[in-house]
């Protein structure tokens, strides 16, 4: 199935602003992030710690709603879903 | 009105829109680029998500504090020292509500709206808020 990945700020500099990815049916957000990490050592270094856990400051949205990495990373994604990955907010 | 724009912010226009006969107080907050030894600042937004969140915050402020009007404009793109980053204009019947509404909007904006800043100095650059 096809999903969209958006990246902002420091993560945009690594991944590019937008890309579409073909992933297996019902893959989770965690699996999608791991796939991105496999393809990009820089993203892996920036987003995951040595034990393979997502770093605390990595923020995520699925379809423009913030998700809690502690709970929602294992939720299956659907065709056409949009995952956004970004560092802490700094507006204003 | 809520806006995210690459153009200069016109506080005059915002004040005009916020004026009304039943408002006795108008409070303005203007965030500007501080000279922390930087050359310029680059601002980036997740535009669709940021507009939706700003609209939600605006509606919360209007209903919580009984504002007559609330205007928010946030810049993106490249800004020089001294330029405006964000402007908020709130009008209400009395000053207390107008001050509270304005404060609520800037505090919630900082916590919730997906916008990022990069500071560019002679000796390098860094994303604000990044450890």
What pLDDT does B57 receive? 98
Query: From chain A, which residues contact B within 8 Å (Cβ)?
Result: 6, 8-10, 12, 57, 61, 64, 84, 86-92
Q: Residue B15's closest CA among B85, B76, B83, B68?
A: B68
Domain-embedded: residue B131: no
Domain-embedded: residue B80: yes
End-to-end CA distance of chain B: 34
Q: Walk along chain B (131 residues) and give the pLDDT tens digit of each residue.
A: 999 999 999 999 999 999 999 999 999 999 999 999 999 999 999 999 999 999 999 999 999 999 999 999 999 999 999 999 999 999 999 999 999 999 999 999 999 999 999 999 999 999 998 65
For residue B32, the enclosing domain spans 2-9+20-123
Q: Contact A86/B114, CB-based, under 8 Å?
A: yes
- Picking from A84, A87, A91, the nearest residue to B130 by CB comes out as A87
Q: Residue B108's closest CA among B58, B51, B74?
A: B58
Residues on chain A touching B44 (C-beta within 8 angstroms): 8-9, 12
What pLDDT does B131 receive? 54
List the B124-127 sheet strands across, edge first. B77-80, B40-45, B115-121, B124-127
What is the second-level CATH architecture of the domain A2-86?
Answer: Roll (3.10)
Global pTM? Answer: 0.95
Residue B102 sits at φ, ψ, to 5 deg, of: -65, -45
The CATH number of residue B80's host domain is 3.90.1170.40
Domain-embedded: residue B37: yes
* Residue whose pair of structure tokens reads 């990595």 in the numeric block: A58
Distance from CA of A21 to the nearest CA of B (A): 20
Strand pairing report for A82-86 and A2-7: parallel
């Amino acid at each position: 199935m096809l999903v969209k990945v958006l990246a902002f700020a420091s993560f945009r500099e690594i991944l590019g602003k937008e890309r579409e990815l073909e992933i297996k049916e019902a893959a989770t957000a965690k699996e999608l992030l791991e796939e991105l990490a496999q393809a990009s050592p820089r993203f892996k270094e920036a987003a995951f710690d040595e034990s393979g856990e997502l770093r605390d400051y990595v923020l995520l949205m699925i379809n423009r709603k913030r998700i809690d990495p502690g709970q929602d990373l294992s939720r299956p994604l659907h065709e056409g879903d949009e995952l956004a990955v970004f560092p802490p907010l700094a507006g204003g | 009105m809520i806006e995210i724009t690459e153009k200069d912010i016109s506080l005059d226009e915002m004040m005009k829109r916020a004026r009304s006969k039943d408002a006795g107080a108008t409070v303005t907050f203007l965030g500007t680029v501080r000279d922390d030894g930087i050359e310029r600042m680059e601002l980036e937004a997740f535009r669709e998500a940021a507009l939706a969140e700003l609209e939600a915050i605006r509606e919360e402020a209007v209903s919580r504090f009984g504002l007559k009007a609330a205007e928010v404009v946030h810049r993106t793109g490249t800004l020089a020292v001294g330029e405006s980053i964000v402007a908020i204009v709130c009008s209400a019947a009395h000053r207390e509500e107008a001050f509270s509404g304005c404060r609520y909007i800037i505090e919630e904006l900082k916590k919730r709206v997906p916008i990022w800043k990069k500071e560019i100095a002679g000796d390098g650059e860094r994303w604000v808020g990044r450890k």
